[in-house]
């Protein structure tokens, strides 16, 4: 198998296992919705205020939802003793990293699309422009690339649930 076939196989495995458990999908969606709704109530209905605070609210939502989802990217394999099996597979570490990263990227982009739609509805702001979408996609790629690496480092620690946010959000 070539590099990308192996990467897609790992991405597909992560996507299917994430959809089967629905644990992380539900928790990240609820968290995202709650953050947006709470900020909506906190800042009122002033359009000028919304335009000032909207970018910060959006990126706080993306950052915390991303850390929450990335924290669970390697943990299921570690808890089910599958991480050693994954490392023993006849694939390079780069394939495992890129496969895990693409799975997390796909998940994050879906969450961000849902968050942007909710955000546009509640805040009545035009967040679905080409500029915002381009910046969001490029930033998410960098966020997930670094987050996947930190998640792989944090999975073997005793306090793995705490280590990723500490590494990621200094």
Tell me, rounded to whole angstroms, the distance of Cα 132 from its chain centroid: 18
What's the predicted TM-score (pTM) here?
0.86
pLDDT of the residue at 55: 85
Angle subtended at Cα 160 by Cα 158 and Cα 166, rounded to the nearest 5 degrees:
120
Per DSSP (E only), the strands in 99-160 are none
pLDDT of the residue at 1: 63
How close are the terminal C-alpha atoms of the chain, in Å? 40
Angle subtended at Cα 63 by Cα 76 and Cα 8, rounded to the nearest 5 degrees:
45
Give the span between the Cα atoms of 29 and 14, in whole angstroms.
18
110: nearest Cα among 136, 130, 131, 147: 136
pLDDT digit string, tens, across residues 22-47: 777 888 888 888 988 888 888 777 77
Q: What is the mean pLDDT of each run of 10 residues along the chain (170 residues)?
A: 84 78 81 87 78 85 88 75 75 86 91 88 82 91 92 80 79
11: nearest Cα among 97, 136, 111: 97
């Amino acid at each position: 198998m070539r590099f990308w076939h192996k990467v897609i196989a790992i991405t597909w495995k992560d996507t299917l296992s994430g959809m089967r458990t629905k644990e992380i999908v539900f928790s990240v969606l609820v968290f995202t919705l709650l953050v947006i709704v709470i900020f909506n109530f906190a800042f009122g209905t002033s359009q000028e205020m919304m335009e000032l605070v909207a970018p910060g609210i959006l990126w706080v939502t993306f950052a915390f939802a991303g850390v929450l989802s990335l924290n669970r990217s390697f943990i299921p394999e570690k808890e089910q003793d599958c991480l050693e099996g994954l490392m023993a597979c006849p694939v390079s570490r780069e394939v495992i990293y890129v496969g895990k990263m693409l799975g997390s990227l796909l998940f994050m982009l879906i969450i961000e699309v849902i968050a942007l739609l909710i955000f546009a509805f509640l805040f009545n702001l035009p967040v679905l422009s080409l500029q915002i979408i381009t910046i969001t996609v490029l930033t998410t790629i960098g966020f997930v690339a670094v987050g996947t690496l930190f998640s792989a480092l944090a999975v073997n620690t005793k306090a793995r649930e705490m280590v990723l946010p500490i590494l990621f959000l200094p």
